[in-house]
Chains A and B, each alone.
Chain A
Amino acid sequence: KAGVTQTPRYLIKTRGQQVTLSCSPISGHRSVSWYQQTPGQGLQFLFEYFSETQRNKGNFPGRFSGRQFSNSRSEMNVSTLELGDSALYLCASSFSSGVSTDTQYFGPGTRLTVL
Chain B
Amino acid sequence: AQSVTQLGSHVSVSEGALVLLRCNYSSSVPPYLFWYVQYPNQGLQLLLKYTSAATLVKGINGFEAEFKKSETSFHLTKPSAHMSDAAEYFCAVSSGAGSYQLTFGKGTKLSVIP
Give chain A interface residues in 39-63, CB to chain B under 8 Å: 42-45, 48, 50, 55-56, 58
Residues of A within 8 A of B95 (CB): 100
Residues of B within 8 A of A66 (CB): none
Give chain B interface residues in 96-114, CB to chain A under 8 Å: 96-107
Residues of B within 8 A of A56 (CB): 99-101
Is A45 touching B46 in the complex (CB atoms < 8 A)? no
Contact flag A94-B101 (CB < 8 Å), given A101-B32, A106-B43, A109-B43: no
Contact flag A43-B90 (CB < 8 Å), given A90-B43, A103-B46, A109-B43: yes
Is A100 touching B44 in the complex (CB atoms < 8 A)? no
Across the two chains, which residue of chain A brings its CB closest to B103?
A45
CA distance A44 to B3 in the complex (A): 12
User: Interface of A with B (CB < 8 Å)?
Assistant: 4, 31, 33, 35, 42-45, 48, 50, 55-56, 58, 90, 92, 94, 96, 98-109
A-B contact pairs, 16 of them (CB 8 A): A4-B43, A31-B100, A42-B104, A42-B107, A43-B92, A44-B104, A48-B100, A56-B99, A100-B94, A100-B96, A100-B97, A100-B99, A106-B43, A106-B44, A106-B45, A109-B43
